[in-house]
């Protein structure tokens, strides 16, 4: 079996990145002007990479399917971004951020990449402040922090509940500066449909103009994918409607290995599903767990009474509530990592304690926080600390200042007031730790093809900690890729511009067009959504929060059958040469139907529980995830025609700077 | 709920559009407005008709993609929300609902309810940034203290999602709330001071070039803005512009 070369530099972990930067090949400014780079996706990773590479002098072509780069789904990240600044003086350091991230990922991430991430994290905050990102500040004018799950320090920087928005708009502004200078050519409403390989190197893409339907060829010396995750394979998720795996999957089909597809993050605090019409799920930020307490009733009678509408949660006495996270994990309490919190919610609901009609919801309660803040404020203002009305009013004001926009969002969707009654929440698909395999340089197994941000696999192992996605996206784009890609491009200074009039471009374009023609002329009986929803049900029921051999095997068969049915029976209205959202969706779902099968195959092969991947066969007597030493590797899958034929390559994971031990939050 | 929908259909930018009637019989009050349109589109596909094209993506009120003029109001009835956050419980059984695209010279229709808002991008490209390279060697983030008041106010301005509701609501199709918000965000922060004069001049010049109208202080933009961006930002932009031209 072939071995993967992660190209991790030698030397002590704290010096690797510095030494690496000191010894890479550089491209001189005059030569950068002759080198083109294509960047697909304009979220935090793609947007920041586009801006930085253009600043450096490369010619950048950036692509996004939205109508503007400002709309990429990074914008929806709420809670914050981690950085080892230690402004709070609570013991944080680069090492601690590194340690927390590796442990949080259940010892399934690459040590060297995570350490580099922790090192550059502090630069991100400096950079964003210089760009005018309005982070929250305290009254002394310095930056404020809050705490996120799985850590014991406050290292999360935030801008209300809209941190992703502000960071993305920062990257967007940096892009705009370069678009204005002509260094970035922006292609909005364009979707990448294939990557073109010439002499073994990624040299361009085939893209579809979503407004005119035109198929375009674009060439470059290197191609970067910042195209996000594939959680929409589950149909219902917190992803944007357009988020898709197509770019990553096409790259996989052209030779990029796909790593750990089964590592999916199911976020514990989302608004529960309300009906069949539902098109997406909405996240309630993890920051709410700083102040919200999660519980279900202790007694079955209360559960039934609640479901029948005879009892309100606020009427249940304190001693009849089961604050199950505080009970099971006293050290971290409500701030355990996401995978642990999600499984605990599922455990209670499976045991019958779910509090909504479908039995799939738990409470997130702010009453204690309102009382605590209210008393504090009453004290500060010299008011009566025992006056319930005063405390209630003051406490709600503080909670509103902290989480107002989230509370408003909840009320609009659910039609209940979370200041008065606890929120109802349930886990939902939120992020994918798996993705395209990359080496230390963020290069895939195809030379000249890079993957950054959520699209790659390297930093979060089997579970991502809160506020780390934004950190990784910007680290890759602003501070890592600009160095590593230069080392590769230094060999390309004499290549000259890449022609699109070659047989490789002809062939790729022909394949894309054939595929589109097939979809448009299929004249089947069911819409794209019909198939997408069916796939989502299989994924959620059999590849979701808990997996087992039997279900995974049947998922593999069912997905393959559904894929065959899709190609036989899908109906795509309209034509190929116009704006046609159904056609775009059809192409994306076709790829999800292939990825889904590989996902199940990967989950079946991984006979252990780690982070977001929980196999029922492998758990401790207390029901915690049971990792197995013999699976301490990255599963990188090579495409061989059908997902079932994919070939496994293993990258062994070595931990020299961290002791691998049981991951306990008790 | 039973509903009658009157929806603007337009094949392409070049063709003429018209209002077309549709009926829906089984709408749940818990659906979002876009989910109601999903149901309509599935019906249309099943009947071999073309679905209604509309912009949407995050469906949680932050990406700014969705953009519909519903019963004469940007993002429909209800305050401080986008279309994707609007739920059918805001309507009643038997209602007739008019759905149109944003109407403005600078926002040409692409298809049905989709308009081209790239004018907004071009305004940002003219000056909506701070010229600082991503070297990683900027000064420490806490080197310049910023008062909480200024930081919060900058955040309130920066919260704009660029949806264009302000333009669609304005009788003059003015983009001054959008531009004012960006100018204000930077004007309120020390980092934005160095280029303040050039920024406001360039952004306003591009805004005029794109064909947006002027502000006559009606205030419809503030009322319909899903993020509650304040009119004060327009006043601040005007102050900045006067200062820059002195």
Q: Nearest CA to CA, how far is A249 from chain B (Å)?
A: 21
* Greatest Cα pair distance in chain B: 63
- Look at residue B234 and tell me if it is in a domain: yes
Q: Is the pLDDT of residue A1 over 70?
A: no
pLDDT tens-digit profile of A444-484?
999 999 999 999 999 999 999 999 999 999 999 999 999 99
- Strand pairing class (A190-198; A362-365): unpaired
With CB atoms and an 8 Å threshold, state whether B138 touches A129.
yes
> Are residues B37 and B17 both part of a single domain?
yes
- CA quadruple A435, A440, A441, A446: dihedral, nearest 10: -50
Q: What pLDDT is attached to residue A79?
A: 85
- Look at residue B138 and tell me if it is in a domain: no
- Look at residue B137 and tell me if it is in a domain: no
Fold (CATH) for A502-626 = Methane Monooxygenase Hydroxylase; Chain G, domain 1 (1.20.58)
- Look at residue B73 and tell me if it is in a domain: yes
The domain locations on chain A are: 268-428, 502-626
Give CA angle at A150 (A148, A154), nearest 5°.
40
> Are residues B216 and B122 both part of a single domain?
yes
Q: Does A276 touch chain B (CB under 8 A)?
A: no
Q: Is the pLDDT of residue A2 over 80?
A: no
What values do phi and psi take at A455, rounded to 5? -65, -25
Q: What pLDDT is attached to residue A465?
A: 94
Q: Is the pLDDT of residue A130 over 60?
A: yes
Contact A296, A363 (CB under 8 A): yes
Q: What pLDDT is attached to residue B28?
A: 95
Q: Is the pLDDT of residue A405 over 50?
A: yes
Q: In sequence order, what are the beta bridge partners of A296?
A: A322
Work out the number of other CB atoms within 10 angstroms of the CB of residue A140. 10
CA A344 to chain centre: 21
Size of interface A-B (CB pairs under 8 A): 208
Which CATH architecture describes the domain A268-428? Alpha-Beta Complex (3.90)
- Look at residue B185 and tell me if it is in a domain: yes
Give the residue from chain B lying closest to A65, CA to CA.
B57
**Residues of B in Cβ contact (< 8 Å) with A284:** none
With CB atoms and an 8 Å threshold, state whether A68 touches B121.
yes
Rounded CA-CA distance A646/A650 in Å is 13
> Are residues B150 and B83 both part of a single domain?
no
CATH at B43: 3.10.20.30
Rounded CA-CA distance A544/A616 in Å is 11
> Are residues B123 and B236 both part of a single domain?
yes
With CB atoms and an 8 Å threshold, state whether B134 touches A51.
yes
**pLDDT range class, residue A150, cuts 50, 70, 90:** confident
> Are residues B158 and B210 both part of a single domain?
yes
Q: Which of B138, B132, B130, B116 is nearest to B158 (CA)?
A: B130
- Look at residue B140 and tell me if it is in a domain: no
> Are residues B8 and B98 both part of a single domain?
yes
- Burial of A305-314, coded b for 16+ CB within 10 Å and e otherwise, reads bbeeeebebe
The H-or-E segment that residue A484 falls in is helix A481-489
E strands, B42-141, are 69-70, 73-74, 96-100, 109-111, 114-115
Q: What pLDDT is attached to residue A538?
A: 98
Closest Cβ–Cβ partner in A132, A160, A578 for B185: A132
Residue of A213, A581, A584, A585 to mutate for B, most B C-beta atoms under 10 A:
A581
Contact B81, B59 (CB under 8 A): no
Give the residue from chain B lying closest to A121, CA to CA.
B136
Closest Cβ–Cβ partner in A179, A186, A579 for B53: A579
**pLDDT range class, residue A161, cuts 50, 70, 90:** confident
Domain hosting residue B99, numbered range: 3-110
Closest Cβ–Cβ partner in A127, A180, A571 for B126: A180
Q: Judged by CB atoms within 8 Å, which residues 101-160 of B form the interface with A?
A: 110-111, 114, 116-118, 120-121, 124-126, 128-134, 136, 138-142, 145-148, 151-152, 154-155, 158-159
With CB atoms and an 8 Å threshold, state whether B57 touches A242.
yes
Residue of B25, B44, B60, B108 to mutate for A, most A C-beta atoms under 10 A:
B60
Rounded CA-CA distance A23/A7 in Å is 14
Give the residue from chain A lying closest to B109, CA to CA.
A211
CATH at B192: 1.10.1060.10
> Are residues B121 and B241 both part of a single domain?
yes
Q: Does B191 touch chain A (CB under 8 A)?
A: yes
**Residues of B in Cβ contact (< 8 Å) with A267:** none
Catalytic-labelled residue, pool A338, A464, A547, A615: A338
Establish how many alpha carbons lie within 13 A of residue A350's alpha carbon, considering only the half-sphere containing its beta carbon. Answer: 9
Average pLDDT of chain A? Answer: 96
Q: Does A156 touch chain B (CB under 8 A)?
A: no
Those residues of chain B that have pLDDT short of 50 are none
Q: What pLDDT is attached to residue A148?
A: 86
Instruction: Check if A628 is active-site.
Output: no
Tell me the pTM. 0.97
**pLDDT range class, residue A3, cuts 50, 70, 90:** low
With CB atoms and an 8 Å threshold, state whether A279 touches B38.
yes
Work out the number of other CB atoms within 10 angstroms of the CB of residue A87. 21
Q: Which residues contact A402 (CB under 8 A, 6 or more apart)?
A: A287, A291
Q: In sequence order, what are the beta bridge partners of B18?
A: B9
Structural domain total, chain B: 2
DSSP state of A526: B
With CB atoms and an 8 Å threshold, state whether B148 touches A139.
yes
Q: What pLDDT is attached to residue A307?
A: 95
E strands, A139-209, are 156-157, 184-187, 190-198, 201-209
Q: Nearest CA to CA, how far is A105 from chain B (Å)?
A: 27
> Are residues B124 and B233 both part of a single domain?
yes
> Are residues B235 and B185 both part of a single domain?
yes
pLDDT tens-digit profile of A242-286?
999 999 999 999 999 999 999 999 999 999 998 889 999 999 988
Distance set, CA B214 to CA A380, A619, B24, B175, B208 (Å): 47, 66, 40, 8, 8
pLDDT tens-digit profile of A344-375?
999 999 999 999 999 999 999 999 999 999 99
ipTM, 2 dp: 0.98
Q: Judged by CB atoms within 8 Å, which residues 570-599 of A form the interface with B?
A: 571, 573-574, 578-579, 581-582
């Amino acid at each position: 079996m072939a071995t993967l070369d992660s190209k991790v530099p030698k030397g002590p972990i704290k010096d690797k990145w510095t030494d690496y930067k000191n010894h890479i090949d550089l491209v001189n400014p005059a030569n950068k002007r002759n080198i083109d780079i294509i960047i697909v996706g304009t979220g935090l990773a793609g947007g920041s990479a586009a801006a930085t590479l253009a600043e450096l002098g490369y010619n950048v072509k950036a692509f996004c399917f939205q109508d503007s780069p400002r709309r990429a789904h990074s914008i929806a990240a709420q809670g914050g971004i981690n950085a080892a600044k230690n402004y709070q003086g609570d013991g944080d350091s680069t090492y601690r951020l590194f340690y927390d991230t590796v442990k949080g990922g259940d010892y399934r991430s690459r040590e060297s990449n995570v350490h580099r991430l922790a090192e550059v994290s502090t630069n991100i905050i400096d950079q964003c402040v210089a760009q005018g990102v309005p982070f929250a500040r305290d009254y002394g004018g310095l930056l404020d922090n809050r705490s996120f799950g799985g850590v014991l320090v406050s290292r999360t920087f935030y801008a209300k509940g809209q941190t992703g928005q502000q960071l993305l708009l920062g990257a967007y502004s940096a892009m705009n500066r370069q678009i204005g200078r002509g260094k970035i050519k922006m292609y909005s409403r364009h979707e990448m449909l294939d990557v073109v390989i010439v002499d073994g190197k990624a040299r361009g893409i085939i893209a579809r103009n979503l407004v005119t339907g035109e198929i375009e060829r674009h060439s470059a010396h290197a191609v970067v994918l910042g195209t996000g995750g594939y959680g929409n394979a589950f149909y219902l998720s917190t992803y944007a409607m357009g988020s898709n795996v197509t770019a990553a999957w096409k790259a996989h089909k052209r030779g990029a290995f796909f790593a750990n597809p089964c590592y999916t993050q199911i976020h514990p605090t989302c608004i529960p599903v309300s009906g069949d019409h539902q098109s997406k799920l909405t996240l309630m930020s993890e920051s709410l767990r700083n102040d919200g307490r999660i519980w279900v009733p202790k007694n079955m009678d209360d559960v039934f009474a609640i479901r029948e509408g005879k009892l309100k949660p606020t009427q249940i006495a304190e001693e009849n509530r089961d604050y199950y996270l505080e009970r099971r994990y006293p050290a971290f309490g409500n701030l355990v990592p996401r995978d642990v919190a999600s499984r605990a919610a599922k455990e209670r609901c499976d045991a019958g304690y779910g509090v909504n009609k479908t039995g799939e919801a738990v409470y997130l309660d702010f009453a204690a926080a309102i009382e605590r803040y209210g008393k504090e404020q009453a004290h500060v203002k010299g008011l009566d600390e025992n006056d319930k009305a005063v405390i209630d009013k003051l406490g709600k004001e503080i909670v509103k200042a902290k989480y107002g926009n989230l509370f408003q969002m909840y009320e609009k969707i659910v039609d209940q007031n979370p200041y008065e009654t606890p929120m109802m929440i349930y886990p939902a698909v939120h992020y994918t730790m798996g993705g395209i395999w990359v080496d230390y340089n963020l290069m895939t197994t195809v030379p000249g093809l890079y993957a950054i941000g959520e699209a790659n696999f390297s930093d979060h192992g089997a579970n991502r900690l809160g506020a780390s996605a934004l950190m990784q996206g910007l680290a890759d784009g602003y501070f890592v890729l600009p160095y590593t890609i230069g080392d590769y491009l230094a060999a390309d200074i004499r290549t000259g511009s890449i022609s699109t009039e070659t047989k490789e471009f002809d062939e790729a374009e022909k394949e894309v067009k054939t595929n589109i023609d097939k979809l448009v002329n299929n004249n089947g009986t069911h819409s794209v959504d019909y198939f997408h929803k069916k796939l989502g049900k299989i994924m959620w029921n059999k590849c979701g929060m808990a997996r087992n051999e039997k279900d995974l095997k049947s998922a593999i068969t069912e997905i393959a059958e559904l894929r065959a049915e899709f190609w036989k029976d899908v109906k795509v209205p309209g034509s190929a040469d116009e704006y046609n959202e159904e056609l775009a969706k059809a192409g994306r779902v076709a790829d999800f139907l292939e990825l889904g099968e590989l996902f199940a195959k990967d989950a079946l092969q991984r006979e252990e529980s780690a982070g977001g991947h929980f196999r029922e066969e492998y758990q401790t007597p207390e029901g915690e995830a049971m990792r197995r030493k013999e699976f301490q590797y990255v599963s990188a899958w090579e495409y061989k025609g059908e997902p079932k034929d994919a070939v496994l390559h293993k990258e062994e994971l070595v931990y020299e700077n961290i002791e691998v031990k049981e991951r306990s939050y008790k | 709920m039973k509903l009658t929908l009157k929806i603007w259909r337009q094949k392409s930018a070049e063709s003429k559009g018209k209002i077309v009637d549709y009926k829906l019989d089984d709408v749940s009050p818990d659906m979002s407005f876009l989910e109601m349109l999903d149901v309509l589109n599935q019906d249309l596909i099943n009947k071999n008709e073309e679905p209604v094209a509309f912009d949407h993506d995050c469906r949680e009120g932050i990406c700014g993609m969705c953009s519909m003029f519903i019963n004469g109001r940007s993002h429909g009835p209800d305050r401080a929300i986008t279309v994707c956050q609007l739920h059918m419980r805001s309507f009643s059984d038997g209602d007739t609902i008019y759905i149109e695209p944003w109407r403005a010279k600078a926002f040409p229709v692409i298809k049905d309810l989709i308009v081209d808002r790239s004018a907004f991008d071009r305004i940002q490209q003219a000056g909506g940034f701070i010229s600082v390279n991503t070297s990683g060697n900027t000064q420490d983030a806490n080197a310049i203290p910023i008062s909480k008041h200024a930081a919060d106010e900058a955040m309130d301005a920066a919260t704009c999602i660029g949806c264009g509701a302000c333009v669609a609501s304005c009788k003059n199709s003015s983009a001054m709330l959008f531009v004012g918000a960006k100018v204000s965000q930077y004007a309120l922060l020390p980092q934005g001071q160095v280029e303040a004069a050039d920024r406001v001049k360039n952004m306003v010049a591009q805004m005029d070039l794109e064909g947006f109208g002027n502000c006559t202080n009606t205030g419809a933009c503030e009322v319909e803005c899903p993020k509650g961006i304040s009119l004060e930002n327009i006043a601040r932009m005007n102050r900045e512009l006067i200062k820059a031209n002195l």
